[in-house]
Amino acid sequence: MSLQWRAGYPTSPAFYGAVSKWFFTLTILWLGVAVFFDVYNLPRASNLPETFRATGGAVLVTVLLYTFIPVVTPPLQSRGQLFLFWGAALIGVLAWRGFYAGILGQPWYIQRALLVGAGASGRELAMALRERVETPNPFKATGTQVVAFIDPNPAYVGRTVYGIPVLGGYTELTDVAQTLDTDEVVLVQDGNVPLSDAMVDAVLRCSELGMHVCSLAELYERILGRVPVLLVGNNLANVLDTRENPGERLTLAAKRLIDLMAGGLGLLVVALLAPLFWIINRVTSPGPLFYRQQRVGRAGESFLIFKFRTMIPDAEQQSGAVWSQENDPRVTPLGRWLRRLRLDELPQCLNMVRGEMSLVGPRPERPEFVDQLVIEVPFYRARHAVKPGLTGWAQVHYSYGNSVDDARIKLEYDLYYVKHLSLFLDLRILVRTANVVLRMKGL
């Protein structure tokens, strides 16, 4: 548009064919900059000020980068043309983002959920929802708003749980659901306590009225992207993917092909970077450049992973196997930068080529920690149903952890990945990983 209005460029099919490389360059630049500014973080999209800040910054940086690539991009012959280009891009993108954010905030878009059960599981869910959301409205960005609790315990009725009112017992379920214009009834059961006959009748009545009925685990997964291992009792159906998936073999075959290509490219990068890292390593922390360590992979089988060494030699000689600490003093100067950029994991491309790891999957854990976590964290072994990965769903959501509680939260993310494994989910993880690397948010 800027070229046509200010420079008189023709608007014919031949013109668009000749300048297609310009638009391709602009698209690539936008995607990279948008990832850096976290523009595609959907839970934040309903926050208009945050949306405009991130999008405006991304547009400005994209236009500046695009302008200073004269070999490929069209020459801008005047400041007016530059301002028109920047202004059109800014107004267009912000208008679309504002429209999109407005849609997310509309009452008809938000699912109104009624939680049946205000006990320990219900309180845990409400607390997790409050902690998860980063916008002023704690539920709008998730697409689901918890409007009330129903619980048979008279001691709960009339109270609030994390700001959510408890409005009545099971006998009032249908009336309360209709009064609040509820879209969804969520069954929140502590442990494996069966539903009473009266409760079943009330829930079926809600279903007859067109309300969607789901379990706590289903809502938890949909909003938080985690499997609530402490809230599902011993119900394996809420942890494992029990559905028939005819496309699973094709997905795994495609992942293997991607692993081979990405692994080969990664090994080439390792070969190019290794001499530089070796020189820096010799100066700052003499010792081997690479580090090998036992990890647990698919089916619980152990294998050797390869990493660029980021700690002093023999870092665990006195202590034995211990979790790495934030700002760990054992980390070398080079290692600190490698961790921030996630480059220390790059040699694991060899594990990818050998078929021991995948590009995306749960991060492989050390056998010493696995032995402990299998005992202390429910369903921990379920993460071994797929190959471990170079990056994973847990790594792009939960940046750091050095305790059993941290391991449990990461497991919940890992189990979500195992249940919903797909190439599209892998793509989402890779985009968010790029954001982590560009912002140097690694450990």
d(CA 330, CA 30): 39
pTM of the shown model: 0.80
For residue range 59-74, list pLDDT tens digits in order: 888 877 777 766 555 5
Cα–Cα distance measured from residue 62 to residue 30, given in angstroms and rounded to the nearest whole number: 6
> Reduced to 3 states, what is the DSSP secondary structure of residue 360?
strand
Q: How many other CB atoms sit within 10 Å of the CB of residue 163?
A: 9
Mean pLDDT, range 218-228, rounded to an integer = 87
Q: What is the pLDDT of residue 139?
A: 46
Amino acid occupying residue 405: D
CA dist., res. 201 & res. 203, Å (int): 6
Residue 389 has a pLDDT of 96
pLDDT band at 193 (very low <50, low <70, confident <90, very high): low
Phi-psi region of 142 (alpha: psi -120 to 50; beta: other; left: phi over 0): alpha
- Average pLDDT on 151-172 reads 86
Structural tokens at position 85? 């280009």
Predicted confidence (pLDDT) per residue in 283-338, tens digit: 888 888 898 999 999 999 999 999 998 887 776 666 666 667 666 778 888 888 88
Q: What's the CA gap between 49 and 206, in Å, rounded?
A: 38
pLDDT value of residue 416: 94
Report CA torsion sign: 314, 315, 317, 318.
positive
Mean pLDDT of the chain: 81
**pLDDT given for residue 232 in this prediction:** 79
DSSP string, 17-76: HHTHHHHHHHHHHHHHHHHHTTTT-GGGTT-HHHHHHHHHHHHHHHHHHHHT-TTTSPPP
Spatial CA neighbour of 362 closest among 404, 405, 414, 400: 414
Q: Which of 27-36, 348-357, 425-434 is most confident?
A: 348-357
Please report the pLDDT score of residue 216 as a whole number: 85
Q: How many CA atoms lie within 13 A of 53 on its CB side?
A: 7
pLDDT at 264 over 90: yes
DSSP of 83-113, one letter per residue?
A: HHHHHHHHHHHHHHHHHHHHHHTSTTTSEEE
For the segment 270-295, the average pLDDT, to the nearest whole number, is 90
Domain ranges for the chain: 2-104, 111-224, 248-438
Give the other-Cβ count within 10 Å of 258's Cβ.
17
Cα gap 185→177, rounded to integer Å: 8
User: What is the reported pLDDT for 333?
Assistant: 85
Say what the pLDDT of residue 117 is.
Answer: 86
What is the model's pLDDT at position 105? 63
Q: Are strands 111-116 and 164-165 parallel, antiparallel or unpaired?
A: unpaired
Span 111-224: which CATH code? 3.40.50.720
Is residue 344 within 8 Å of 290, Cβ to Cβ? no
Kindly indicate the confidence band of residue 29, based on its pLDDT and cuts at 50, 70 and 90: confident
Report long-range pairs for 267-276 (Cβ below 8 Å, ≥24 apart): 267/349, 267/350, 267/353, 269/346, 269/349, 270/346, 270/347, 270/349, 273/343, 273/346
85 band by pLDDT with thresholds 50, 70 and 90 = low
Q: Is the pLDDT of residue 92 over 90?
A: no
Q: Give the pLDDT score at 135.
A: 44
Under 8 Å CB-to-CB from 282, ≥6 apart: which residues? Answer: none
Q: Between vectors from CA 299 to CA 295 and to CA 302, what angle results, nearest 5°?
A: 25
Question: Nearest CA to 144 among 44, 222, 36?
Answer: 222
Specify the range with the lowest mean pLDDT, choosing from 163-177, 316-330, 402-416. 316-330
**Amino acid (1-letter code) at residue 168:** G
Give tens-digit pLDDT for 106-160.
666 678 889 988 888 888 887 777 665 544 444 444 577 888 999 888 888 888 8
Type of residue numbered 325: Q
